[in-house]
Amino acid sequence: MTTRFIAAALAASALASPLLAQQVAPPPVDPAVAALRDAALADNSAWDIVEGLTTEVGQRMAGTEAEARARTWSVAKLKAMGFQNVHIEPYRMPVWERGAETAEILAPFPQKLTLAALGNSGATPAGGITAEVVVFPTYNDLLAAPAGSLAGRIAYVGNAMQPTQDGSSYGAFGPARFVGPAVAAQKGAVAIVIRSIGTDHHRFPHTGTTTFPEGVKPIPAAALSVPDAEQLERIAARGKPMRMKLVLTPRRTGVRESGNVIAEVPGTDPNAGIVLVGGHLDSWDLGTGAIDDASGIAITAAAAKRIMDAGRPRRTIRVVWFGAEEVGGFGGAEYAKAHAQDRHATASESDFGADRIWRFEVNLPDSARAVGDRLQTALAPLGIVRGPGVAGDGTDIGPTLRLGVAGIDLNQSGQQYFDTHHTPDDTIDRIDPQALRQNVAAWTAMLAVVANAPEEIGSVKSPR
């Protein structure tokens, strides 16, 4: 070793010494928690829920007869698993249904395209519309377009979404779908097509909800599969005017019933608060909603059952299978309204597929800081690290968290999630059973720690 390397090593050692002195030994894992966690690595009940729901019900679009069948199926399933106080809390919501959806380039190079309407899309006449296409490489380019510049035209918006472990690319590129159609409408467009908000190269489009604010008339809006979007961009690069014929005939069918399915593991201390967990029961109508979100409701229910079978926890665990999440988060909003006076200790949801959990984050009061520390050691053997952020993720639990309820997030890897998100490829074969079991083990450990924590878990500042 050279003198230079020796000097560098000594300097590093000197810097590290104060840091080492600051380290505190992590709290030991309760043997009962470790036993529950490790036993859950052999869990099959989560797979059973996903398989049953996707096989016996299938697609579960919010407000439809299929979602109603899913609620009936869920009540029977949760009762059979041994949960208490199983019931449905219904509410009413506006319903949007898909119709015909076709597109073709008429000039300069005629060919058909594959696409899917976005939720809340407006409709073309039955015979469709034909118009010139204006290409915007990004959503920001659409924003920069002059007012009125899209009059009588179809807007196309591209993106360059890439897979990320934390799913942050969805937030970065999602606005093209979330609000892009409304922006195009305000600039005069007669319709809009976007490159799917996805990371795959299958010829499957990704649907999803878009929002038109009050006063903006919904225009026909659809997502092209990624290969079709890239084809459109190659055609545009030839520099010749492009004309498209678009047929989208979705319709609004009025106000119908949806609902949340609720089940409980009663606790021994009614004053300790409720540990709220769950996911959403509804799905889009293209696939069978296996990863979004049959897996989420399965993971959380399977973990809660494991705690229930081990004996009554201190805190009541409430499992909620929320309705109508995909089309606007109606279930979460209705739950928060109906249960605003309930004393919730924490809230958590699973709605990011079934890949392995790699990180957890918390938003706990100072009085319960030790709970987060115990979670860190309980989850570490599963390959889960503690993140530096503040928990508070989830459409369904968001309204409850905004009431000041503490949050705990268990983050799954997003590397593959957006390959199948909101596509016909959202089917059970996309789930890795071993990764699903790791999720159940993580949620079991979390519930074992939190539901039995002796600390008071009071209110916190909302993360949003």
The pLDDT value given to residue 5 = 39
**CB of 158 closer than 8 Å to CB of 137:** yes
Task: Give the residue ranges of the chain where pLDDT is below 50.
Answer: 1-12, 14-15, 19-21
Question: The tokens of 362 are what?
Answer: 């918390």
The pLDDT value given to residue 2 = 46
The 115-117 sheet, strands edge to edge: 111-113, 101-107, 243-248, 129-136, 154-157, 191-195, 221-224, 115-117
What distance in Å separates the CA atoms of residue 314 and residue 179, rounded to the nearest whole number?
A: 44
Closest by CA position to 79, among listed 270, 259, 321:
321
What distance in Å separates the CA atoms of residue 35 and residue 39, rounded to the nearest whole number?
A: 6
The pLDDT value given to residue 464 = 67
Q: pLDDT tens digit string along 278-287?
A: 999 999 999 9
**CB of 304 closer than 8 Å to CB of 265:** yes
Domain range summary for the chain, segments of one domain joined by +: 31-91+257-451, 99-251
Q: Is residue 391 packed enough to be buried (19+ CB in 10 Å), middle (13-18) or exposed (0-12)?
A: buried
**CB of 64 closer than 8 Å to CB of 284:** no
The pLDDT value given to residue 27 = 86
Which among 325, 326, 334, 349 is annotated as catalytic? 325
What distance in Å separates the CA atoms of residue 343 and residue 273, rounded to the nearest whole number?
A: 5
Question: The tokens of 255 are what?
Answer: 């106000």
With a CB cutoff of 8 Å and minimum separation 6, the contacts of 184 are 142, 150, 155, 157, 192, 219, 221
Beta-bridge partner residues of 312? none
**H-run or E-run covering 108:** none
User: Which residues of 82-168 form beta strands (DSSP E)?
Assistant: 84-97, 101-107, 111-113, 115-117, 129-136, 154-157
- As a CATH number, domain 99-251 is 3.50.30.30
Q: pLDDT tens digit string along 175-201?
A: 999 999 999 999 999 999 999 999 999
The pLDDT value given to residue 173 = 95
What distance in Å separates the CA atoms of residue 117 and residue 246, rounded to the nearest whole number?
A: 11
**CB of 295 closer than 8 Å to CB of 116:** no
Amino acid (1-letter code) at residue 238: R
325 catalytic? Reply is: yes
The pLDDT value given to residue 26 = 77
For the chain, counts of helices (H) and of strands (E) = 15, 16
* CATH fold group of domain 31-91+257-451: Aminopeptidase (3.40.630)
With a CB cutoff of 8 Å and minimum separation 6, the contacts of 227 are 201, 202, 203
